[in-house]
Chain A
Amino acid sequence: MAESTVHQSRSRDLDKLLLRPGNLVAPTFEPGAQLRDDLQEYARILVIGAGGLGCELLKDLALSGFKNLEVIDMDRIEVTNLNRQFLFRLEDVGKPKAEVAARRVMERVSGVNIVPHFCRIEDKDIDFYRDFIIIVLGLDSVEARSYINAVACGFLEYDSDDKPIEETVKPMVDGGTEGFKGHARVIIPGSTPCFECTIWLFPPQVKFPLCTLAETPRTAAHCIEYAHLIKWDEVHSGKTFDPDDPEHMKWVYTEAVKRAELFGIQGVTYSLTQGVVKNIIPAIASTNAIVSAACTLETLKLVSGCSKTLSNYLTYNGVEGLHIKVTEFVKDKDCLVCGPGVLLELDTSVTLQKFIDMLEEHPKLLLSKASVRHQATNLYMQAPQVLEEMTRSNLNLPLFELMGKVPRDIIHVTGTTSRDGKKASCLRKLCLVFKGADAVTDQDMAVGA
């Protein structure tokens, strides 16, 4: 037992997994010190979200052999985060989550470098996301998941047989929790279903009909939503309701109580008012810990090959006993996001402006205010202003020429679309084919042969 303390490194436990050969491992697994060192040196991982899952993910990844992490989150720390977001203290309230989380983990785990990004995910260039070997998602919103999924799937290229080209595959590991329930999933664009293929797993939130709120309220929630959605606008003409302003919340609560009394309805409390208005999802430390740990293990396995990977969706439910289930969902081969791209046939004379207008009309896309990119070039950008001005002159040029007169190529467009009546950023990959251009190339090739 003597050797145990003499040469002990901080990688004592992880080395067993990374340095030794095994039989139940991925075919790509090459155990050895090199693998461990490569994980530390070259594997750059992006964590999206520094909340309940994000805090856990950063800690877990930092203690699973990764040394180059980045984290992106637009939120500031609130008091209600403290029951689970263990990297934050009371005195941190009001500070950016990404910055505090990164600093706390670096303080405790020496040698780890975490770069925080205090901004929206849409604020980053698409190329920012390209630099990471894996993107790990610790989010609580469908819109944000959908956006990142589209970005990662946007990198995917297919060969002429519609097979995914391996170097363009950007894997994602996604976690989510609600109360005693959660999920962890692995998304390998082109192989597994992407977030959009199985969007039905996240049904839209049920809303109360306005006539119920206005005419036949029956529950405390009806009274609260009446005060929030109808009465507020009647009384405060033009002033928008701010759910984070305690005065606003108190007003809604008081009005809801009045309405409940009027109709003989029970159960309006301040806490319920907050819950209904902000659509609060209950959250606890333990569920976040479980889901994040599962996500981290999958990340480690994907990058190192040290074991098999989850295929492809894990659910955890601790409400009644303990239920952990793995489901192998299948990919939607016609998926707009991870498939080979929506095919659009265009005349070679179509201008960029005309093309952008077409996107708005296209029944599958309905994409407004589109920015357009071809390979590494911005053909047109809606914002920021500088870029808009620089690219504006392209609008009147034929797209065919802007794309270098190739008969067929992939193009990326970002814009807004509506999902369940709400505006959402979205990124789409399109496969453009120029009518008549094929013939030219065929001829060229014939001559060349």
Chain B
Amino acid sequence: MAEPKAKYDRQLRIWGEHGQAALEKATICLLNCGPTGSETLKNLVLGGVGSITVIDGSKVEPGDLGNNFMVDESCVGQSKAKCVCTFLQELNDAVKAKFIEEYPEALIGSNPSFFSQFTIIVATQLAEDSMIKLDKICREANVLLIFARSYGLTGFVRISVKEHAVIESKPDHFLDDLRLNNPWPELKRFAETIDLNMTDPVAHKHTPYVVILVKIVEEWTKAHSGALPSTRDEKKEFKDLLKAGMVAMDEDNYKEAIEASFKVFASRGINSDLLRIMHDSCSEVESNSSDFWVMVAALKEFIANEGGEEAPLEGSIPDMTSSTELYVSLQKIYQAKAEADFLAIQQRVKSILKRIGRDPDSISKEMIKSFCKNARKLKICRYRPIEDEFNNPSVAELQKNLTDEEYSVAMGFYILLRAVDRFAANYNSFPGQFEGEMDEDISRLKTAVVGLLSDLGCNGTTVTEDLINEMCRFGASELHAVAAFIGGIASQEVIKLITKQFVPMVGTFIFNSIDQRSQLLVL
């Protein structure tokens, strides 16, 4: 096996060759390379991203040696961007590592077009005004953006992207697509060729549960004018019907059928999440629609026509007790249907592309295939512009969170993380940053919190004294372990955004390492 592939073996098992290829194409820009930024990038460099560009205008100080693993004593006085970049390069020579010695705030102000060359910007330890400016720039240029900040025992991570569509959401638990209660003709016909009252006990216990359930459902619906078991009694009756079919106690296939009977009781047709996506205004496609939405439009047509109110079949079946022969035949029936559904969708994609004036072959076969296989699991993540959230957060959510036991500390930190930026704008330092001014800083921070809450229209609620004191104690420190946590979360989300696999978080993640009750806040 070739060396580079072996190095990535343990992650290829998670996101596959195509996920790895997306990472290797990605260009990443890091703003500020303190421990939070350095740790975020460390995880991405190890994973083998295409290139990194580290931007930081500061020099390494003695204090940095205590919280950043990417600098050592020989770096003191040198460019931090350069030192961090050199160490990161050591981790993986397949990554192109560059640095620019400049303050991100300056770059955001002077050269907004600079950012459009990257796949994603990882912006760490930025104050509020720079966040807002950068967010506008990245949305305009269609560049992915993620913010991360560590502050004492708290911090946050926030993705900012107009829209992120996921085909391969890869959920842990999802109902198999077996169509037990809505079989297509070929599956029905296959089930009909098998007689459950066969005399051979070996064959009886090797009949796959899919066949058993399809047949018993057929029997049931015939007797109940097409309706599925719905009440508790009916469900029990259905399971008793299955039990009655057993000829011996050791028939695992029947036990599996009874266990899987909930798959029969699930409603036919498409789930509510998919319905919402189909009703999204973006599914009315035009010439500048994304490939994703073109495929959703095709999916809609398919469901209304040849799909018969069902999404394209996924085409795979779980392992189940069965003879090899029946299992393989069943597999082929599912695969054939999935292939037919794919061809139908592909046809519709082509004609839609033609209709909106695009090349009918501009969406690859692999992409459409993956879309069909995952059609029931599509996900759309949307993120409010930072400025909107900052000026106009959901007051109801805010009030609710502040008074909720589980959320109040995280919500308090959210407010405080904004209040310290207001504080710094006024006083040129963060509360508690320097010794000897603690009492004064505490009351100043309190004033900043009250002012902020009132500006947001949240009168009457506030943040506890204890939390305000705590924030002053933190004194804008960037602790290594907190930075490693925040950096870990940020890099995880970057991987999801770049590979377009799994579902990125929505909202602002607030880290609470006092008692580890961190929360996602959607405001």
Cβ contact within 8 Å between B502 and A307? no
> Whole-angstrom distance from the CB of A172 to the nearest CB of chain B?
17
Cβ contact within 8 Å between A20 and B473? yes
* Complex Cα–Cα for A409 and B152 (A): 47
Q: Which of A305-336 contact B (CB under 8 A)?
A: 307-311, 314, 317-322, 324, 326
Q: Which of A8, A64, A319 sits near B480, CB closer than 8 Å?
A: A64
* Complex Cα–Cα for A416 and B53 (A): 54
Cβ contact within 8 Å between A23 and B466? yes
Cβ contact within 8 Å between B12 and A79? no
Cβ contact within 8 Å between A13 and B503? no
Query: A83 in the interface, Cβ–Cβ < 8 Å?
Result: yes
Cβ contact within 8 Å between A265 and B3? no
Cβ contact within 8 Å between A286 and B492? yes
Q: Which of A86, A179, A218, A265 sits near B91, CB closer than 8 Å?
A: A86
> Whole-angstrom distance from the CB of A182 to the nearest CB of chain B?
10
Query: A287 in the interface, Cβ–Cβ < 8 Å?
Result: yes
Cβ contact within 8 Å between A110 and B72? yes
Cβ contact within 8 Å between B65 and A322? no
**Interface residues contributed by chain B, number (CB under 8 Å):** 89
A218, A219, A281, A319 pick with most chain B CB within 10 angstroms:
A218
Q: Which of A22, A90, A265, A326 sits near B515, CB closer than 8 Å?
A: A326
Q: Which of B258-317 contact A (CB under 8 A)?
A: none
Task: Point out the residues of chain A lying under 8 angstroms from B91, CB to CB.
Answer: 86
Query: A49 in the interface, Cβ–Cβ < 8 Å?
Result: no
Cβ contact within 8 Å between A8 and B514? no
In chain B, what residue has the closest Cβ to A217? B324
> Whole-angstrom distance from the CB of A371 to the nearest CB of chain B?
37
Cβ contact within 8 Å between B327 and A297? no
Cβ contact within 8 Å between B492 and A24? no
Task: Point out the residues of chain B lying under 8 angstroms from A24, CB to CB.
Answer: 466-467, 470, 514
B interface footprint on A263-282 (CB within 8 Å = 1, 0 otherwise)? 11100001100110000111
Q: Interface residues of A toward B: which range?
A: 35 or more
Q: Which of B6-25 contact A (CB under 8 A)?
A: 6-14
Task: Point out the residues of chain B lying under 8 angstroms from A294, CB to CB.
Answer: 485, 513, 516
Cβ contact within 8 Å between A5 and B61? yes
* Complex Cα–Cα for A212 and B466 (A): 62
Task: Point out the residues of chain A lying under 8 angstroms from B171, CB to CB.
Answer: 319-320
Q: Which of A215-235 contact B (CB under 8 A)?
A: 216-219
Task: Point out the residues of chain B lying under 8 angstroms from A309, CB to CB.
Answer: 515
* Complex Cα–Cα for A16 and B505 (A): 31
Cβ contact within 8 Å between A23 and B470? yes
Query: A293 in the interface, Cβ–Cβ < 8 Å?
Result: yes
> Whole-angstrom distance from the CB of B19 to the nearest CB of chain A?
11
Task: Point out the residues of chain B lying under 8 angstroms from A281, CB to CB.
Answer: 10
B interface footprint on A413-442 (CB within 8 Å = 1, 0 otherwise)? 000000000000000000000000000000
Cβ contact within 8 Å between B479 and A64? yes
Cβ contact within 8 Å between B13 and A286? no
Q: Which of A11, A59, A180, A322 sits near B14, CB closer than 8 Å?
A: A180
Q: Which of A21, A23, A293 sits near B482, CB closer than 8 Å?
A: A293
* Complex Cα–Cα for A271 and B1 (A): 10
Query: A283 in the interface, Cβ–Cβ < 8 Å?
Result: yes
> Whole-angstrom distance from the CB of B95 to the nearest CB of chain A?
12
Q: Which of A284, A293, A326 sits near B517, CB closer than 8 Å?
A: A326
Query: A84 in the interface, Cβ–Cβ < 8 Å?
Result: yes
Cβ contact within 8 Å between A326 and B516? yes
Given contacts A13-B479, A79-B6, A216-B322, 20 further A-B contacts (CB under 8 A): A10-B62, A12-B63, A22-B470, A23-B469, A60-B481, A79-B7, A83-B46, A108-B72, A109-B65, A212-B321, A218-B322, A218-B327, A285-B47, A289-B488, A294-B485, A300-B481, A307-B514, A318-B492, A318-B493, A321-B504
A-B contact pairs, 23 of them (CB 8 A): A8-B61, A12-B61, A17-B152, A22-B469, A56-B484, A59-B484, A80-B7, A83-B48, A110-B73, A216-B206, A264-B328, A282-B11, A286-B492, A289-B488, A292-B484, A293-B485, A294-B485, A297-B513, A307-B153, A308-B514, A311-B515, A314-B516, A324-B516
A interface with B by C-beta (< 8 Å)? 1, 3-5, 8-14, 16-17, 20-24, 56, 59-60, 63-64, 79-80, 82-84, 86, 89-90, 107-110, 179-180, 184, 212, 216-219, 263-265, 270-271, 274-275, 280-290, 292-294, 296-298, 300, 307-311, 314, 317-322, 324, 326
